[in-house]
Amino acid sequence: MVHLISGISTLVIAAVTAAMIAILSAFNGIETLVDELFSSIDTPWAVVPEEGAWVDAAWADSLKVLDAVAWAGGVLEQDIVVQHQGEPLVCTMLGVAPGWAGASGVEAALVDGAEFVDDTAGFACAWLGWGIRSQLRIAPRPELPTMVTFAVPKKGAKLGRMGLGAGAAGGLGGLDAALEKQVLPVCGFFSINADFDARYVLAPLATALGLTGRDGQVSRIELLPSEPGGSSFREAAFREAIEARLGPGLKLRSRREKNALIHATHRAEKWITFSILAFIVVVAGFNILASLTLLLIEKKRDISTLWAMGMTPKAIRQIFSWQGAMINAIGAGIGLALGIGLVLAQSRYGFVQFEGAMVPAYPVELRWGDVAMVLGLVMAVGVTFSIGMVQYLVRRQELGPYAKAKPATRA
């Protein structure tokens, strides 16, 4: 019976350890996926106004000369109406400076069009998200250039995403007089994720400024560091170099700061889940206590014999403490191997699949810091329970009926 309960205790510890590794890796995978999805439409850094909505586009030229900056350019973000063959659709236009597609990574998301260009056949052109293409019923690879009407509210007018109404299918209806229009050919299409594909269209910054009537004013200045990643990039030095050049009313914001709420929410979910799993580890530790209790009951006569032979209470406690620690260590080792194996298998082969999602398999990411943390928690709980319970049980054992076997000189 003792061996059976010890085996069950080991399996319980192993199962909880493996579950913690797998669940934390799943949270890491989702965090990385969300970061990639929400960072695919902008550069790693941006200069934004502390108040208001506009920045002077000339700041891009001022920041380009810094050694720490590989690329800088203005981006104008504006809600617009796009229309093709009588089908209007409200979306968001990004007016971007030359080189923005490569700096932000959007160039890799082009599904039609060899490269990102500002014009075609001498005319400024636009790039549409794949979802917008579908809603406007534009053929993926048209034989002739596709012309799309861009319309923005005149100054003082506001545009709501639901403002077109069901009766606007044949045109812009009553909104027509409140809109500035420009017809642009479509250069190509991009696909990042379902949300972005149905929300964004891209246009050259000069065209966007002319259409919106903004005289050199943009929503933000986006930046690409000279060393965008890796061990050679020093965030503090880059931030110091940029902020030293900025004027009052402007601030530097990282991509992670832009999505701070998303990351904070995700971290809170992860650590709340870790706390719940830690409580389960504590509950699983009681299995070790049950195993040690039965072991001590079974070994009453052996304990008395060891005592009569001169073994100290400390040595007796150490024997059973090591027994509990060994059960915990074996369970933790099996759980770590199983959890790491499951995560690596999912990462490589994608056994858990999604149907109809933008990712084919559930994302996971193994972080060795999480592995060390789980191992430390499991071992700390197991060893603490083992030592504490053994001390209590052995003390009770010494005061039991077999205590008469103790030598008279023992205290």
Determine the pLDDT at residue 357.
Answer: 59
- Asked whether the predicted pLDDT for residue 76 surpasses 80, the reply is yes
Determine the pLDDT at residue 18.
Answer: 93
Determine the pLDDT at residue 155.
Answer: 67
DSSP label at residue 26: H
99: left (phi over 0), alpha (psi -120 to 50) or beta: left
The first and second tokens of residue 256, run together, are 């992670």
Averaged over 245-257, what is the pLDDT? 86
The model's confidence at residue 338, banded by pLDDT at 50, 70 and 90, is very high
Averaged over 77-93, what is the pLDDT? 87
The model's confidence at residue 233, banded by pLDDT at 50, 70 and 90, is low
- Asked whether the predicted pLDDT for residue 286 surpasses 60, the reply is yes
Most confident of 41-45, 103-107, 144-148, 216-220: 216-220
- In single-letter form, the type of residue at position 257 comes to E
The model's confidence at residue 283, banded by pLDDT at 50, 70 and 90, is confident
Determine the pLDDT at residue 382.
Answer: 80
pLDDT in tens, 136-156: 888 777 666 788 989 887 766
pLDDT in tens, 356-410: 556 778 889 999 999 999 999 988 888 787 777 777 666 665 534 444 444 444 4
Determine the pLDDT at residue 336.
Answer: 94
- CA separation for the pair 304, 399 (Å, rounded): 11
Averaged over 228-247, what is the pLDDT? 77
Handedness of CA 8, 9, 12, 18 (dihedral sign): negative
Percent of the chain exceeding pLDDT 70 equals: 80
Q: To which residue do tokens 């709501």 refer? A: 160
All residues at 6 or more sequence positions from 182 whose CB lies less than 8 Å from its CB, including other chains: 149, 150, 151, 207, 210, 211
Q: Which residue has the higher pLDDT, 340 or 9?
A: 340
The model's confidence at residue 25, banded by pLDDT at 50, 70 and 90, is very high
- CA separation for the pair 35, 229 (Å, rounded): 15
Percent of the chain exceeding pLDDT 90 equals: 17
The model's confidence at residue 174, banded by pLDDT at 50, 70 and 90, is low
- Asked whether the predicted pLDDT for residue 201 surpasses 80, the reply is yes
**Whole-structure pTM over 0.75, yes or no?**
no
